[in-house]
Chain A
Amino acid sequence: MTAIEHVSCRFGDFALDDISLAVGQREYWVLLGPSGSGKSLLLETIAGFHTPDKGRVLVEGRDVTSVAPERRGIGIVFQHAALFPHHTVLANVEYGLRVRGAPRKERERTAEEMIERMGLQGVLSRPVSALSGGEAQRVAIARTLAVKPSLLLLDEPLSMVDHGARLELQAQLKSIVAELGIRTLHVTHSREEAAALGDHFAIILSGRIVQKGTTDELKSRPRCAFVARFLGLENTEAAPPCEEACLRRPGSCKKLD
């Protein structure tokens, strides 16, 4: 099982409050929430850059709550691609295998496969600083998938990509994730992106999950008016009014009205 269980964490102005989420085999979860809701903090906690105050993180049944990020088997793609500017595109893709001491043959084979899958043959010779936002993000995805993580975290990966390239990258991401059958947790504040990619949604607000489930569940039975509005549903009136739980944090729900 790959899951987070009752995770609470406080970091600066952000806090996570008792978050639980289980990502099943071949599931693509989209964590949807407005800016400042703690989505990125949650991803960083799962990836191991923050230690949760409470709760645990499980990767394929293994408790990794106190395991260093490099031994969690979790891949993360950042909003800004975070490519290594002193390496070539190829060296970026090979980086993970290189630091794991993979033999050269395997390294080359995997890198070649990833480059082909992400359609990066054309940019191999370019310096990293000359890549466009979409190209850089494709290299970042290839780099992360090259080490075959058992959970893929995507932190607003498409927000810095311009519109035309975004649709293309979205399709590419969807197909490669489906092909590899990798568990994915994708953070975004864009519901178009969420609708295009996810099969499961979790709506997060002020560090707590308001509702989670399959896309159909959420769309057919939004838990409250906020969820309905955030998903862009037509008949927000049909949804039950916002609950006390959702309203408890001051300003969070009303602000979005």
Chain B
Amino acid sequence: MTPSPTHTAPFWNWWRSLAAAALLAALHISLAYLPDAPFTPPMNLVLYFTNLYVLYCAAVVLPGRSATTLAMFLAGYAGLFALVLLALGKKPLFILLIVAYSSLFGSPVLIGFFVIFVVCFILLQPYGFESFVPLALIYALLWNVRRRASWFARVCLGGGLVALTAVLFPLIHLATRDSVQTLWHTFQREDVQDAVGQSLLSSTSATLVVALFGVPLAYALARIDFPGKRWVESLVDVPILVPQSVAGVAFMVLLGPGSPLGQGLAPLGIRVSGTTLGIVLAQVFVAFPFLVKTAMTAFEGIPRSLERASRSLGASPAVTFFRVALPLASRGILVGLTLAWARAISEFGCIVLFASSPVTAPILVHTEFLRAGATESRPIATLLLIICLWIFVMLQFGQTLLPFAMQKTRRETGA
């Protein structure tokens, strides 16, 4: 009688388990009689019981699994053994890790986190914490999409996110350096508060200015075809292309104290260089492409027939803009404004040349760095990072609260 393929003899049974335990005992006893014993007898005993627990877990988890799983289990054990016991020689740590390893092996999710934990906190020290958090999040994400995406897409996603983490790692590392107390003390310094306030004020004003002229420009570029339109679109990109120091010099030449325009404005009580006005000007210059590009895409996404329907129903072009185009593009415009605001508050190169007073936060970080070095300027940098991220994340979140998005309804309303 041939055994049916669905009912094979169990991989583990009680006498095999006993034999394995006895074999393990023999191994540990022989270890104790080696010329220079690697473990003290109590440690050897503890290790023996640990290995017994590993055997027990294997007996629970492995039956019915493929040979690959068994090989992976043994490879994991060997890896931990080689890394923690042979290379580092940390016996208690090995015991703790191996117990966790054999307990978690049955669950693919948890064993993944365990591997990341070991890699981050043992191999990547002293960057354990800041590497563990993003990598664990990436793993959780990949686990989450495992049924929705092909293996290739998941490899692309995982590889891309790990690379992104590596690129952003300086910031992640910076954010974990200082204690909350240090940050709080730094935040209460008057010069820091002034600089942060100045930054928020000028970048918000710059964003409003950008909105006032960027949204109409974006609408026009999205709706009117004219010869040379591509060149105008490229002109919009110029501030992204030009080095900020070049822009700073250009502003200085046009509006600086010695320039004709600067001297002409001085009697009117208007000073541009070295004032909030100058900062706002520089920020508008660097920020507006981000709004114009995003808003243009948003306006282009609105089917022309919607605006035509509005016109034929009796709405003038202006009414159509405010009742149809603007509401439907509002999410895209808000994304653009967020980007523009972020670009404005992060501007340094142009401002440092053209309007370095009143001091904005990036300028303060720079002067602190020149005065006292990286360690001294670190809390201010961290603080600025946290404030920018906080507002950025809040604005991103705000966009999701808008009641509609054109993308979702384009299918039904037509091209």
Known: A99-B319, A99-B323, A129-B409. Contact between A80 and B312, CB under 8 A?
A: no
B404 lies within 8 A of A69 (CB): no
A-facing residues in B291-319 (Cβ within 8 Å):
303, 305-306, 308-317, 319
| A94-137 near B? 1/0 per residue, CB < 8 Å | 01100110000000000000000000000000001101000010
Known: A85-B406, A85-B412. Contact between A74 and B327, CB under 8 A?
A: no
Q: How far is the CA of A44 from the CA of B311 in the complex (A)?
A: 12
- Taking CB atoms, residues of chain A closer than 8 Å to B412 are 80-81, 83, 85, 128-129, 131, 136
Partner of B328, one of A85, A136, A147: A85
| B371 contacts A by Cβ under 8 Å | no
Q: How far is the CA of A199 from the CA of B175 in the complex (A)?
A: 76
| A68 contacts B by Cβ under 8 Å | yes
| A66-96 near B? 1/0 per residue, CB < 8 Å | 0011111011101111111110000000011
A99 lies within 8 A of B308 (CB): no
| A142-154 near B? 1/0 per residue, CB < 8 Å | 0110010100000
Q: How far is the CA of A155 from the CA of B312 in the complex (A)?
A: 13
Partner of B404, one of A76, A85, A96, A144: A85
Q: How far is the CA of A79 from the CA of B306 in the complex (A)?
A: 12
- Taking CB atoms, residues of chain A closer than 8 Å to B415 are 80
Q: How far is the CA of A147 from the CA of B312 in the complex (A)?
A: 10
| B406 nearest in chain A by CB position | A85
Q: How far is the CA of A129 from the CA of B412 in the complex (A)?
A: 6
Range class of the B interface residue count: 20 to 34
| A44 nearest in chain B by CB position | B308
Q: How far is the CA of A44 from the CA of B312 in the complex (A)?
A: 10
- Taking CB atoms, residues of chain B closer than 8 Å to A85 are 328, 404, 406, 409, 412-413
| B110 contacts A by Cβ under 8 Å | no
Q: Quote the shortest CB–CB distance from B358 to chain A (angstroms).
A: 42
Partner of B327, one of A48, A76, A79, A86: A86
A84 lies within 8 A of B324 (CB): yes
- Taking CB atoms, residues of chain A closer than 8 Å to B406 are 85
| B147 contacts A by Cβ under 8 Å | no
- Taking CB atoms, residues of chain B closer than 8 Å to A48 are 311-312
| B403 nearest in chain A by CB position | A86
- Taking CB atoms, residues of chain B closer than 8 Å to A79 are 414
Partner of B409, one of A47, A128, A149: A128
Q: Which of A79, A85, A95, A147 gathers the greatest number of chain B CB atoms within 10 Å?
A: A85
A70 lies within 8 A of B315 (CB): yes
| B408 contacts A by Cβ under 8 Å | yes
Partner of A68, one of B309, B311, B408, B414: B311
A81 lies within 8 A of B413 (CB): yes
A-facing residues in B345-395 (Cβ within 8 Å):
none
- Taking CB atoms, residues of chain A closer than 8 Å to B315 are 70, 95-96, 99
B409 lies within 8 A of A96 (CB): no
| B128-169 near A? 1/0 per residue, CB < 8 Å | 000000000000000000000000000000000000000000
Q: Which 10 A-B pairs have the closest CB atoms?
A: A80-B414, A96-B313, A85-B409, A82-B305, A99-B315, A69-B311, A129-B409, A82-B309, A78-B305, A100-B314
Some 18 contacts from A to B, beta carbons below 8 A apart, are A68-B317, A69-B311, A70-B311, A76-B308, A78-B305, A80-B413, A81-B412, A84-B306, A84-B310, A85-B328, A85-B406, A95-B310, A99-B314, A128-B409, A128-B412, A131-B412, A143-B309, A160-B414
